[in-house]
């Protein structure tokens, strides 16, 4: 994010022979087999059975985990060539995250949670407060700004987490089962909030178990035993 709060929304996310092998007791688990792919702008759904490697892929895309081979390229940046601090700054500027559990900071209000990434990015107080308010309004929570996470319903907390993920208008939005703990109506609302940036040209990567959610995405990657395959869409 630069001083005007604008990020380069055209950053391309690509992976080249990306793989991850975890040590496991005496042996090893191949969680992700070498995978090469360019993520298109819009929404890519990542589907597949439990334990197939979906979260491993997302954690590598995020730079939370280190690949056994290959690279994650975001625009001109090789994510894993950065040091820890560089990667953290890069994430702050270009990434948004949503997880199955909202991961809100318990001692901060809804508004403060949404402001938090902007504070870390050095955005001045008035500007960050205004933007956080605007985002909470966008997710329909303008009346919950002063609530603490424990005072919010599951769906409300997840919408606060979305507002926090979207507040810096990131080029890349990564979501791991964000609707997994929600009823279908609330899950649908959260999905709409993720589709909006996808339609605005951001790159959204969404892990989901729900075929109805996956059907709304522009592209699908199917993961099975660590192998990722592009699924072609039959247009009807
Ligand atoms: N940190 C880790 N250490 C060892 N094995 C792991 C680790 N993370 C994931 N795995 C293994 O890698 C495989 C893929 O896991 P994961 O990516 O979490 O699957 P999914 O998200 O599709 O359910 C599983 O067999 C899992 O046990
Ligand atoms: Mg997972």
Residue with the smallest CA separation from ligand 1 atom 2 is: 22
pLDDT in tens, 112-155: 999 999 999 999 999 999 999 999 999 999 999 999 999 999 99
Write down the pLDDT at residue 4: 42
Whether residue 1 has pLDDT greater than 60? no
Count the domains in the chain: 1
Can you read off the two tokens belonging to residue 191? 């999905």
Rounded alpha-carbon distances, angstroms, from residue 13 to 56, 94, 191, 205: 16, 11, 21, 10
Ligand 2 geometric centre to CA of 160 (Å): 22
Evaluate if residue 3 carries a pLDDT over 70: no
CATH code assigned at 130: 3.40.50.300
Is the alpha carbon torsion for 86, 88, 92, 95 positive or negative? Answer: positive
Question: 124: which residues sit within 8 A by CB, 6+ positions away?
Answer: none
CA of 32 to the centre of ligand 1 (A): 9
pLDDT recorded at residue 62: 96
Instruction: Evaluate whether 156 touches 183 at the Cβ level (below 8 Å).
Output: no
| pLDDT at residue 234 in the model | 62
Do the Cβ atoms of 103 and 153 come closer than 8 Å? no
Residue 198 has pLDDT above 70, yes or no: yes
**Ligand 1 centre distance from Cα of residue 177 (Å):** 15
| Mean of per-residue pLDDT scores for the chain | 92
- The whole-number pLDDT of residue 2 equals 42
CA distance 3 to 9: 15
**In the structure, what pLDDT confidence band is assigned to residue 5 with cuts at 50, 70 and 90?**
very low
Q: Which ligand minimizes its atom distance to the CA of 57?
A: 1
pLDDT above 70 for 18: yes
**pLDDT (average), residues 14-34:** 95
Which of helix, strand or coil describes residue 17? strand
Q: What is the mean pLDDT of residues 169-192?
A: 91
Whether residue 211 lies inside any domain: the answer is: yes
Domain contains 61: yes
Q: What is the arithmetic mean of pLDDT over 58-76?
A: 97
- Which ligand has an atom closest to residue 52 CA? 1
CA angle (118, 98, 188) in 5-degree steps:
120
Atom in ligand 1 nearest the alpha carbon of residue 20: 12
User: Does any domain span residue 147?
Assistant: yes
Domain span at residue 38 reads 13-231
Q: pLDDT band at 100, cuts 50/70/90?
A: confident
46 CA distance to ligand 1 centroid (A)? Answer: 15
| Cβ-based neighbours of 18, under 8 Å, separated by 6 or more | 32, 34, 35, 36, 57, 60, 67, 69, 70, 71, 72
Residue 210 belongs to a domain: yes
Sorting pLDDT into bands at 50, 70 and 90, what band is 26? confident
Residue 130 within a domain: yes
Alpha-carbon distance of 191 to 179, in angstroms, equals: 7
In a domain, 30, yes or no: yes
User: In the structure, which protein residues have their CB atom closer than 6 angstroms to any atom of ligand 1?
Assistant: 22, 24, 29, 31, 48, 50-56
| 5 falls within a domain | no
Q: Average pLDDT, stretch 28-52?
A: 97
**Quick one: average pLDDT of 102-113?**
95
For 162-174, how does the pLDDT look when each residue is reduced to its tens digit (9 = 90+)? 999 999 999 999 9
Q: Is residue 236, in this structure, part of any structural domain at all?
A: no
Nearest-CA residue for ligand 1 atom 7 is 22
Mean pLDDT of 82-99: 95
């Amino acid at each position: 994010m630069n001083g005007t709060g604008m990020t380069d929304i055209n950053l391309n996310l690509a992976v080249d022979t990306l793989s991850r092998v975890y040590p496991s007791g005496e042996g090893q688990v191949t969680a992700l087999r070498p995978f090469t792919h360019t993520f298109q702008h819009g929404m890519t759904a990542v589907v597949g059975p439990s334990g197939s490697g979906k979260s491993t892929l997302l954690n590598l895309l995020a730079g939370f985990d280190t690949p056994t081979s290959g690279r994650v390229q975001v625009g001109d940046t090789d994510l894993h060539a950065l040091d820890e601090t560089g990667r953290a700054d890069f994430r702050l500027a270009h990434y948004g995250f949503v997880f199955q559990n909202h991961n809100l900071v318990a001692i901060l209000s809804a508004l403060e949670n949404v402001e938090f990434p902007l504070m870390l990015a050095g955005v001045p107080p008035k500007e960050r407060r205004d933007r956080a308010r605007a985002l909470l309004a966008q997710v329909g929570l303008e009346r919950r700004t002063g609530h603490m996470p424990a005072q919010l319903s599951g769906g409300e907390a997840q919408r606060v987490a979305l507002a926090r993920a979207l507040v810096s208008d990131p080029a890349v939005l990564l979501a791991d089962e964000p609707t997994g703990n929600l009823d279908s109506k609330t899950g649908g609302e959260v999905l709409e909030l993720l589709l909006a940036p996808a339609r605005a040209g951001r790159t959204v990567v969404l892990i989901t178990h729900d075929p109805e959610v996956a059907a709304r995405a522009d592209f699908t990657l199917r993961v099975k035993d660590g192998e990722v395959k592009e699924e072609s869409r039959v247009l009807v």
